[in-house]
């Protein structure tokens, strides 16, 4: 009788294992990502931009694991074509813009067909004459709305940022003002507040002034209105002026141009970036 009971117990345990193992195995399978992100970068010219690109690729990859989206990156701008972009719902420009006509045409078509984009710092830069001239009217004047670069602060410093649109999904959970990570801040050719297509999300709060340390007087802002993050309501896009880490340009610490500040070392600012990305990826093309 005892042997029979033991036999039945073994059969029962075997049946339980047969039932639960497939469920556990199924649950262990990687789930399909909510959306896919592809980041383009160059990371060759400015040491601060290179530092930011490395940091951004690491941070976004971590956020992808945590929030269940896919993150890929490439420094081959020839991948900016319809076939390569087809699986991706969001495109990032981490430090530069495309330069070839076919690349630009592919990106414009992608955006006009419902794609999403997030750009950082130098991705909006253009100045004629310079190595990066303003030779792409749709991108700088219509899409970004900012036109050419006007001037910048120096040295990279933290600013108090003010939330201008508290109802936008990207600013959800943010305080009315917060201190940013150190950054080189840009002024633009066009007044974005006069553009009905532009929704300014963040701008520099007056409590930040004077902003910058110089040495040139023009690199220290003492007043004015400076948007630093915005969206164009005709497209699914967000531009952020952040993306320039502070570096040991003077070799005060060693001879390796050490990174002195990190863009993603800021909980509140990170929340804004992540909110914006999840908003962009949450809509279907």
Predicted local distance difference test score (pLDDT) of residue 152? 98
pLDDT-derived band at 229, boundaries 50, 70, 90: very high
- Residue 150 is part of a domain; what is its CATH number? 3.40.50.880
Assess if residue 12 is contained within a domain.
Answer: no
What pLDDT score was predicted for residue 22?
A: 39
Number of separate domains in the chain: 1
Query: According to the model, what pLDDT value does residue 23 have?
Result: 35
The percent of residues in the chain predicted with pLDDT above 70, rounded, is 88
Residue at 28 is within a domain: no
Judged against a pLDDT cut of 70, whether residue 30 lies above it is answered with: no
Predicted structure pTM score = 0.88
Tokens 């801040």 sit on residue: 185
Question: Where in the sequence is the domain holding 209, given as residue range(s)?
Answer: 33-281
Whether 17 is in a domain gets the answer no
First vs last C-alpha separation in the chain: 67
Does 71 map to a domain? yes
pLDDT at 255: 73
Euclidean distance between CA atoms 258 and 285, whole angstroms: 41
* pLDDT, tens digit, 9 for 90 and up, residues 239-259: 999 999 999 988 888 777 899
With respect to residue 15, please indicate whether it lies within any of the assigned structural domains: no
DSSP string, 53-120: HHHHHHHHHHHHHHHT-EEEEES-GGG-SHHHHTT-SEEEESS----SHHHHHHHHHHHHTT-EEEEE
Residue 157: Cβ within 10 Å count: 20
Residue 27, pLDDT above cutoff 90: no
């Amino acid at each position: 009788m005892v042997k029979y009971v033991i036999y039945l117990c073994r059969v029962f345990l075997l049946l339980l294992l047969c039932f639960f193992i497939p469920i556990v195995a199924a649950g262990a399978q990687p789930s399909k990502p909510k959306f896919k992100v592809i980041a383009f970068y160059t990371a060759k010219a400015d040491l601060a931009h290179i530092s930011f690109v490395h940091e951004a690729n690491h941070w976004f990859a971590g956020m992808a694991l945590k929030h269940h989206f896919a993150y890929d990156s490439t420094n081959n701008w020839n991948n900016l074509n319809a076939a390569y972009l087809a699986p991706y719902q969001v495109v990032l420009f981490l430090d530069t813009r495309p330069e070839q006509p076919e690349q630009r045409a592919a990106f414009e078509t992608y955006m006009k067909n419902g794609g999403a984009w997030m750009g950082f710092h130098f991705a909006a830069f253009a100045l004629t004459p310079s190595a990066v001239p303003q030779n792409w009217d749709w991108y700088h004047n219509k899409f970004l709305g900012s036109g050419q670069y006007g001037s910048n602060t120096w040295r990279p410093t933290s600013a108090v940022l003010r939330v201008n649109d508290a109802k936008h999904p990207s600013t959800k959970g943010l305080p009315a003002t917060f201190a940013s990570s150190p950054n080189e801040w840009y002024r633009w050719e066009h007044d974005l507040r006069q553009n009905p297509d532009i929704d300014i999300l963040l701008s520099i709060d007056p409590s930040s002034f004077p902003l910058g340390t110089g040495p040139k007087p023009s690199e220290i802002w003492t007043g004015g209105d400076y948007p630093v993050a915005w969206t164009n309501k005709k497209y699914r896009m967000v531009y952020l002026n952040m993306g320039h880490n502070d570096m040991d340009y003077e070799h005060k610490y060693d001879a390796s141009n050490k990174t002195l500040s990190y863009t993603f070392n800021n909980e509140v600012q990170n929340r804004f970036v992540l909110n914006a990305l999840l908003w962009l990826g949450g809509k279907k093309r």
